[in-house]
Structure 1
Amino acid sequence: MNVRRTALLAVLVLGACAPVSEPIIAPLPQGAALDTAGRPFVRRVEPTTEYSRAVQAGTRSQTGAPGANYWQQAVRYQITAELDPQTRVLTGQERLTYRNRSPNALPEVRFNLYQNLFTEAFYGRGSPMNTGGLKLSALVFNGDTLRLITQAQYEANQRESRPNVGYIVTGTLARVILPRPIARGDSAVFQAAWSYTVPPQQAPRTGWEDALGGRVLQVAQWYPQIAVYDDVVGTDVTPYREQGEFYLEYGDFDVTLTLPAGWLVGGTGALQNPQDVLTPLVRQRLETAARSDSTTSIVGRDLIGNGTAQGNNGRVTWRFAAQNVRDFAWATSNRYLWDARRAQIPDASGGGPRDILVHSLYRPGAPGWEQSAHYGEHSIEYHSRQMVPYVYPQITVTEGPIYGMEYPMIVFIGRPTTALELYEVITHELGHEWFPMMVGQDEAAFAWMDEGFTTYIENNATKNLFPASDPYGTTQGQYLQIAGEKAEAPLMQHIDLVFGPAFGVSAYMKPGTLLRSLQRTLGDSVFFAGMREYSRQWQFKHPYPWDFFNTMERVAGQDLDWFWYPFWYRTVTLDQGLSIVTPGSGNVTVTVRDFGQAPSPSEIVVTNTAGQSVTHTIPIQQWLNPSTRAVTVTIPVTGTVARVELDPGHYYPDVNRRNNSWVPGGR
């Protein structure tokens, strides 16, 4: 998901106009007392008890790699659904094959019924967001029909020692108590039938709208989905509260969607029956696009509303299949234009590139969308070079009511008004194809592991295509607006418990900034080696923060707890400054003082009057002594010193840059 930079900045500016918040941590003493202040927030990172037990069980490891005994569940969904675009009512049936790879028998499971967010309980009776939620008309386990149990019935059965078999719906979760446990290594088949009404455009992450002369429905969180059962916490029982996102099992999907003729569909996976749903001309144009480095119009203005086959009785059935994905989403409109072009993905084994199609679906009049296929191509290729190669067979970018949201092989994008903003949103959402689509952590518990990572790679891609932009400064500036104040929240705090401007900072801006700091600290080769190692070893798996921390430390060959603990577990800040600068003959002596509670390497750049520069870095090790608050270095220079700067590239989030530069005669 994308937090719109301009919207977040407005929130931060409004907050800045209010009285200044008190710091969360008491300020450090000033003057000489600073030298004995110590470093209480440089300490060892301790994982949770649950994670430590997983290490002991051998499913996790202290190196950051999956343990020898690592396991995760396997799912296969077969879904058949029909959507009436006019009433917006979707009806569906699914068959879920669930394999229990855990060492435990499972007497019960949970299902996520995300559409129950859109009910009176959440939004109120009269709200247009109250669609009535998901109506589950049947739930079957291995051929046995399960009945709905109310909470009162469940409690009465407990009191009277009667068996409880069936399912209890509480908000967006269904607790399913099975007639017999799913044994270790065994498989079970669940069947469900349901219906719901697609919510309006104000809804988070999914919705419909009438605009630009036509209707678009971007459909997600649309089917009963079994909850994760993992090796660390067991069953994920987190309800969907709108703010936090998702934690999902990997598996295979076979999805059949029936809509009126003329309604184009883009979705997760590969289209299995193009000969049944597309006209010969459209299929021919797709073949051309697959070989082209320029954008091909697949359905242009000449074919709007007529790009599909006529189907049976005016209905067309689309079939998609996807492997090793954590979800399925789709978008549809009878007013979509359809562009496509190829992207070339580097081969993971070092061979030649692999071609995939980049699809773009948008309505006429959407500003700048003629470039959207190109933006998608650039993003997928850039992220593949920077991280690990994109693994899926296609990517689809769709325009509609949702400003920015990601799903496997498809993203929902709104209508930003500038080319730069449109690219930023597209490349951000496509960055999510790596985190969390290919590397699937718990997004609600640890939002920084997908939003923060994606903000970082978004910024790199944006700077590459729009070199005059300053994405790094924007991201860091938004973090620094509330850094160290009560409004800020620790990165390790569950995102459902983070509110106001702290949400965007905690999930996006601060971790996006810190990854750039870590890159500068470790160097490009080591940093990217660590990121790629983490991405490869946890592909299609469920990493936790300590898997990432340990992987980066193993690849870097150094302890990074000095970095993780103060920045991830606390809200303390970095504040270094130039204390004394003394030019000499052929050198300059510089004293750097550390006024903050989060340490950092100190990058000093000295420039002479001829414009020549020399860089000297005080390594982090010199700052880790609890009593060290000042370091003095003598730097060889030629000519006359014209300027001394501390971190002029703004790689580190220093909260006070007023004391970071020196010129003869004053700062």
Structure 2
Amino acid sequence: MRIVLYLVLLLSGSLMGQDDYFQQDVSYDIRVRLDDRRHELHGDLTLQYTNNAPHALDSLYFHLWPRAYSSETTAFARQLLRNGSTRFHFADPSLRGTLDSLSFRVADQPAAFRYTDDPDIGVLLLPTPLSSGATVTVTTPFRVKIPRSFSRLGRVGESYQLTQWYPKPAVYDRTGWHPMPYLDQGEFYSEFGYFRVQLTLPENYVVAATGVLQESAERDWLLARADSTARSLAQHSDLPTGYVAEPYPASSAREKTITYTAERVHDFAWFADKRFAVLHDTLHLRDAPATDVWAFFTQTEADLWQHSLTYLKRATRFYSDRVGTYPYPQVTGVQSALSAGAGMEYPMITVIGRSGSAYGLDEVLAHEVGHNWFYGILGSNERDHPWMDEGLNSYYEGRYTQQYYPERSGRMQVIPGREIDLDALGYRFLRRMGRDQAPDTPSDSLSQFNYFMGAYSKPELVLQQLEQRIGRDALDATFQRYYTQWQFRHPQPEDLYAVLGAEGGYLRDAMESTEAGNFNEAAKQQAKGVGGLSLGLVTDQEDGRTQLFVTPLLGFNANDGFMAGGALHNRTLEPKQVEFLAVPLYAFGSKQLAGFAGARYRLTRPLDRIQRLEVSAGVQRFSDFRPTAARLDSLDLVYGYTRTAVKTELYFDHPAVSQRSSSLYTRLINLRQQRPAFTEEGVLLDDPGVITTNFLQLGYRAAVDRTINPVAYDLRLEYRAGDPDLSREVNNLRLDGSLHGSYLYRRGRRIRARLYGGVFLAHTERDRTTSPAYSFSLVDNAASDYRYDDLYLGRNRDGGYGQQLEQRQGGFRAPIAAAFTYGRSNTYLTALNLDADLPIPLPIGVYFDAGMYGSRPTLSSDPTNAFNYVAGLSVNILRDQFHLYVPLLAGGTTRNLLEQRGNLAERLVLRLNLTHLLPWHLIDKLP
């Protein structure tokens, strides 16, 4: 029979080699007891392993995945950190899990066993090589300490999610062994086999599991519970729609032992909860035995789960009709704790977290049920080729929601009546930023965002376009051939490409590269008949038209007063190659036209190892001084500035999981400051004078954005060309840079450090006794913002406006008035800024700033070095966008100048990152 099957497949062109296809046979007999007082499993495994490889094996690799929860150094723990999650890293060791108490025997003889570099992978050394066609019996006891719910395996209270829980041999196929550590992002590749699992636990636990329950008494008990649940649901019209803190009943003193069997599955999962309500029905598929349909859920979202059987049956029939008949005797949906996405699939059973709506539950159930085909029955290698399950399944899930929810064109409803197509949005965002990766990339080599785009979104978009090329019926027929030919046989990408025939090359090109474009856009546009120009108030997703957005705006600064105007831009939620923004504002205080405008050109992957090139230009105009004396009102019209800048930045490409980023940039700034002009007699001229200054920058910045200890640095070379029309033209060349680092010492609590240093390499006025705005400065107030890079509530204003400080140079958090030459240097400056969040549940910390700079008090004196420091309390609000600092300690001149300000309220420092709060800046930083 195997030879006949081999010849059929060979003639169909679906195999890589001539005679290298084989599949190992595995049979599991597992007896396990749940100790819900200690949250442990105590089990015994008996494994029958048949070697169908054409050569002997001297060892067997085993997955021991509960050990992934044993420490913060496992691959699972490291990946969580890389993706920004610290919950497991800072968890108390008592809440973690493991698998131990192993004692392997082969053919009833002790056998050597050793762990690999990954503690959740081990190697069983066979006493004698297992020849081709031979079978060996492997046994071992084991204990599982069940962790808190951090991922898939876990517990919440006395609700248990037992997945990836037993010693499990890795796959050995035509390319060799496939040992893989457990990961949160990235699923599995396991050998098909037969399971017989005996579970012993307190008798009032309700169990949902892979396979068929063998004890008729337990089945009758579940059916009675299902009947009771159905009657209870029918009697209530006020069922919960959200979370319910449902208490756990006491565990029964008596235990029960129940048995499940399952054939042709590559995993076994079970869920136990004393609170489960149960629903049951039967599904009759064409040319197949009746299928049991079960739902297990708690009071949480009971109003949604009362319809779960309808969703489960509908999804199973939908996939059966389009891909191939469901071959298993039961399908089950479970509502339980889950810390790895909205839902997770296992053979015959799926677990769902909270869904939020009937549509959300139906969609997730359909998606997870669909995995029975691409994950469960076909059994692709999801760790190396995640798109072969997630992507193919997402395509059919999209068709399911399209059929039963035609009014919903997207997956995410942002506001009632408005939806976002997350697949297209996510793909185009990463693609246009040059940050996408080929979908056919191993799971752990994909960034978190690229995992969702590459595994789910892009394959679905490609298949939608393939559907348009060959027709929906033809595509379904192709997948039916693929399903029939490769069920229970672990197909690889080349096998799918072969079944697709002429279209296989198209799919291969899309999956193995970052090339190709706006999938499905042209067809959608043609179908919708879109075109022309559209105007909107709020940024939207691209819809095929030329989109402009006009948004009314209000503004304020102390120099211009209140401002009113609007923003005109073309920026959608996706980055565009050419973007522009114009924000004209009328200032009621200065009676001037103010605002800013800019444009950006973005080129993706222009050269090898270059992620993208961005060229941008912008102009802004505001007042920077507003006399308060009535006799100077006429000067209001001439105090202002116009800043024009052109920037070019090259972003270098780095492996996505390296968390590195770097760029090289140049920036040219032209600053024109309007100032009143007088005659020699002191008469004010009608035309204001203009001071023109140019700056040319060359800079490099890099970062490693680790969760626990990120680090970043930047280096800048800047040339300043003063106005040649002034009596004292000042030119200088400065080199400065900064190093940033931090350490997350507790979840949500961080220690930060910044080191800044700068030196003038050339300065035509190095020996001046005064230090103008373009000198180095310890205090980054509006007066020292000589390039006008930042946005301030008030420039050249007294009082509280001088308490708004930024962090460009010295970063001192001390509101020293700009009138003082304190902290200014024409030679060099170095500063250290330290911050530490306090270990309390409030956003309060402490800070310390120290700095040293060179100065020349008089023309005749030698250079001196001045050291200062300031320290105090900090309040961090809005995730680093707003800080309030309270200086409490200071030394030297700093202390004297702070004391001169007056009371504590006048010494407070405000750091308001206005530039980073601009909506387009926040959108670009999302990935």
Structure 2 length normalisation: TM-score? 0.50
Does residue 1:657 correspond to 2:547, yes or no?
no
How far does residue 655 in structure 1 lie from its aligned partner after superposition? 8.6
Name the aligned partner's letter for residue 207 of structure 1. G
Q: Distance in 2 between matches of 1:334 and 1:643?
A: 55
Name the aligned partner's letter for residue 436 of structure 1. Y
SS at match of 1:496: helix
133, 144, 147: which is aligned to 2:109?
144
321, 332, 343: which is aligned to 1:404?
343
Correspondence list, 1:23-172, <5 A: 63-64=13-14, 69=19, 70-120=21-71, 121-122=73-74, 123=77, 127-128=91-92, 131-149=96-114, 170-172=118-120
How far does residue 471 in structure 1 lie from its aligned partner after superposition? 3.9
Does residue 1:505 correspond to 2:453, yes or no?
yes
Name the structure, 1 or 2, with higher relative contact order (CA <8 Å, separation 6+): 1
SS at match of 2:307: helix
Q: Distance in 2 between matches of 1:319 and 1:341?
A: 21
398, 407, 413: which is aligned to 1:468?
407
Q: Distance in 1 between matches of 2:9 and 2:221?
A: 52
Q: Which residue of 1 aligns with 2:354?
A: 415
Does residue 1:260 correspond to 2:202, yes or no?
yes
Report the CA distance shift for 1:144/1:207 in structure 2 as closer, same or farther (over 3 A).
same
Does residue 1:364 correspond to 2:299, yes or no?
yes
Q: Which residue of 2 aligns with 1:344?
A: 284
- Cα deviation 1:32-89 (Å, max 9, x = unaligned): xxxxxxxxxxxxxxxxxxxxxxxx9998677226878432001000000011223211
Gaps of 5+ in 2: 1-5, 78-87, 237-245, 412-420, 533-540, 548-927
- Cα deviation 1:404-463 (Å, max 9, x = unaligned): 111011111111111111111111111100011000110110000001111111111122
SS at match of 1:442: coil
How far does residue 284 in structure 1 lie from its aligned partner after superposition? 5.8
Report the CA distance shift for 1:604/1:446 in structure 2 as closer, same or farther (over 3 A).
closer
SS at match of 1:138: coil
Correspondence list, 1:498-537, <5 A: 498-537=446-485
Name the aligned partner's letter for residue 544 of structure 2. R
Q: Distance in 2 between matches of 1:604 and 1:512?
A: 15
Q: Distance in 2 between matches of 1:177 and 1:183?
A: 14
SS at match of 1:242: coil
Q: Distance in 2 between matches of 1:655 and 1:539?
A: 40
How far does residue 125 in structure 1 lie from its aligned partner after superposition? 7.8
How far does residue 643 in structure 1 lie from its aligned partner after superposition? 7.5
Q: Distance in 2 between matches of 1:564 and 1:485?
A: 23
SS at match of 2:104: strand
297, 315, 326: which is aligned to 2:266?
326
Report the CA distance shift for 1:606/1:185 in structure 2 as closer, same or farther (over 3 A).
closer
Name the aligned partner's letter for residue 469 of structure 1. R
Report the CA distance shift for 1:332/1:285 in structure 2 as closer, same or farther (over 3 A).
closer
Gaps of 5+ in 1: 1-55, 150-166, 290-294, 348-352, 576-597, 608-612, 614-641, 646-653, 661-667
Q: Distance in 1 between matches of 2:408 and 2:546?
A: 26
Contact 1:574–1:655, Cα closer than 8 Å, also in 2: no
- Cα deviation 1:373-394 (Å, max 9, x = unaligned): 2211111111111210110000
Report the CA distance shift for 1:606/1:464 in structure 2 as closer, same or farther (over 3 A).
closer
Q: Distance in 2 between matches of 1:511 and 1:366?
A: 32
Which one is further off, 530-539 or 511-520?
511-520
Structure number with the higher strand fraction is: 2
Q: Which residue of 2 aligns with 1:381?
A: 317
Which one is further off, 417-426 or 328-337?
417-426
**Greater Rg over alpha carbons, structure:** 2
CA RMSD of aligned residues (A): 3.5
Q: Which residue of 1 aligns with 2:326?
A: 390
Contact 1:59–1:71, Cα closer than 8 Å, also in 2: no
Does residue 1:222 correspond to 2:165, yes or no?
yes
Structure 1 length normalisation: TM-score? 0.68
Report the CA distance shift for 1:533/1:447 in structure 2 as closer, same or farther (over 3 A).
same
Name the aligned partner's letter for residue 415 of structure 1. R
What percentage of aligned pairs have identical amino acids? 27
Which one is further off, 248-257 or 505-514?
505-514
Contact 2:530–2:545, Cα closer than 8 Å, also in 1: no
Name the aligned partner's letter for residue 574 of structure 1. G
Q: Distance in 2 between matches of 1:259 and 1:404?
A: 26
How far does residue 132 in structure 1 lie from its aligned partner after superposition? 4.5
Correspondence list, 1:212-361, <5 A: 215-231=158-174, 233-275=175-217, 277=218, 282-283=222-223, 296=230, 314-347=254-287, 354-361=289-296
Q: Distance in 2 between matches of 1:384 and 1:604?
A: 28
Name the aligned partner's letter for residue 190 of structure 2. L
SS at match of 1:328: coil
Q: Which residue of 2 aligns with 1:196?
A: 144
Report the CA distance shift for 1:484/1:126 in structure 2 as closer, same or farther (over 3 A).
closer
Report the CA distance shift for 1:300/1:360 in structure 2 as closer, same or farther (over 3 A).
farther
SS at match of 2:463: helix
Contact 2:112–2:125, Cα closer than 8 Å, also in 1: no
Contact 1:297–1:338, Cα closer than 8 Å, also in 2: no
SS at match of 1:405: strand
Contact 1:521–1:601, Cα closer than 8 Å, also in 2: no
Does residue 1:438 correspond to 2:377, yes or no?
yes
Contact 1:264–1:333, Cα closer than 8 Å, also in 2: yes
Contact 1:298–1:338, Cα closer than 8 Å, also in 2: no
Q: Distance in 2 between matches of 1:83 and 1:230?
A: 34
Report the CA distance shift for 1:140/1:298 in structure 2 as closer, same or farther (over 3 A).
farther
Q: Which residue of 1 aligns with 2:642?
A: none
Q: Which residue of 2 aligns with 1:160?
A: none
Q: Which residue of 2 aligns with 1:425?
A: 364
484, 488, 495: which is aligned to 2:436?
488
Q: Distance in 2 between matches of 1:301 and 1:133?
A: 44
How far does residue 533 in structure 1 lie from its aligned partner after superposition? 0.5
Does residue 1:479 correspond to 2:427, yes or no?
yes
SS at match of 2:430: coil
Q: Distance in 2 between matches of 1:300 and 1:97?
A: 48
Does residue 1:571 correspond to 2:522, yes or no?
no
Structure number with the higher helix fraction is: 1
Q: Distance in 1 between matches of 2:233 and 2:206?
A: 9
Number of positions where the alignment pairs a residue of Structure 1 with one of Structure 2: 497
Name the aligned partner's letter for residue 465 of structure 1. Y
How far does residue 573 in structure 1 lie from its aligned partner after superposition? 3.2
How far does residue 493 in structure 1 lie from its aligned partner after superposition? 1.0
SS at match of 1:482: helix
SS at match of 2:495: helix
Q: Distance in 2 between matches of 1:198 and 1:452?
A: 31
Contact 1:404–1:425, Cα closer than 8 Å, also in 2: yes
